[in-house]
Amino acid sequence: EAGVAQSPRYKIIEKRQSVAFWCNPISGHATLYWYQQILGQGPKLLIQFQNNGVVDDSQLPKDRFSAERLKGVDSTLKIQPAKLEDSAVYLCASSLESGWAETQYFGPGTRLLVL
């Protein structure tokens, strides 16, 4: 079974530029998550999709971050404009459903450095 795929793996941009990350979840997984992991911290949930609808985006900085999951499969996360404090690893995860105790499977992440 193929795992969660993410690209690019690394990205370096200057502040105020825009950047986009892509995620392809495990086939058949209805729920997709984007997490932000700042160095030395645990992952923090940014947004959760169930199919192509948003379940939870309470911690997404909506003035600069946006995400979509067209057709309920792949997803993109965009930052525009980027700030220095956005430097982090952006992890995508997926689970079969969104029910309690569903195992979340993580991708390798995209490491973003904002200069």
Partner 1 sequence: QKEVEQDPGPLSVPEGAIVSLNCTYSNSAFQYFMWYRQYSRKGPELLMYTYSSGNKEDGRFTAQVDKSSKYISLFIRDSQPSDSATYLCAMSGWGNKLVFGAGTILRVKS
Residues interacting with partner 1, by CB under 8 A?
A: 4, 31, 40-45, 48, 56, 91, 93, 95, 98-109, 111
Q: Which is nearer to partner 1, 16 or 44 (CB)?
A: 44
Q: Which is nearer to partner 1, 56 or 74 (CB)?
A: 56
Could you tell me if 20 and 34 are in contact, meaning their C-beta atoms sit under 8 angstroms apart? no
Rounded to the nearest whole angstrom, what is the least distance from the CB of residue 91 to partner 1 in the complex? 6
Q: What is the DSSP letter of 27?
A: T
Rounded to the nearest whole angstrom, what is the least distance from the CB of residue 111 to partner 1 in the complex? 8
For residue 4, what are its two tokens?
Answer: 């969660």
Instruction: Point out which residues pair with 34 in neighbouring strands.
Output: 47, 92
* C-alpha span between 113 and 15 (Å, rounded): 9
